[in-house]
């Protein structure tokens, strides 16, 4: 499932970051912010119009655009 599809309050493990349309600089930026495979991520909340997603990862809060979150694949924690 994509990170953009994960519900608010739900936790997941990042399985991969895939995006052929993503510039390599954007991928490097995500990796430097701690968005790496096998990291636990939690969706905190979504913007009212759904354009941004606030996540908690490695003790930090990040806000990602929805189009970026669609390139991050996760496995939901049970």
Query: Residue 38 maps to which CATH number?
Result: 2.30.30.90
pLDDT digits (tens, 9 = 90+) for 43-72: 999 998 889 999 999 999 999 999 899 999
* Spatial CA neighbour of 30 closest among 75, 66, 64: 64
Query: Quick one: pLDDT at residue 12?
Result: 97
- % of the chain exceeding 70 in pLDDT: 100
The secondary structure of 11-59 as a DSSP string is EEEEEEE--TTS-HHHHHHHHHTT--TT-EEEEEEE-TTSSEEEEEETT
Domain that holds residue 31: 3-76
CB half-sphere exposure, 30, CA atoms < 13 A: 22
Number of structural domains the chain divides into: 1
Q: What is the mean pLDDT of the chain?
A: 92
pLDDT band at 26 (very low <50, low <70, confident <90, very high): confident
Query: Quick one: pLDDT at residue 25?
Result: 87
């Amino acid at each position: 499932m994509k990170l953009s599809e994960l519900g608010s309050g739900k936790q997941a493990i990042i399985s991969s970051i895939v995006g052929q349309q993503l510039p390599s600089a954007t991928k490097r930026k995500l990796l430097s912010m701690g968005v790496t495979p096998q990291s636990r991520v939690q969706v905190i909340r979504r913007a009212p119009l759904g354009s941004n997603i606030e996540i908690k990862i490695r003790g930090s809060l990040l806000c990602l655009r929805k189009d970026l979150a669609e390139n991050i694949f996760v496995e939901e924690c049970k």
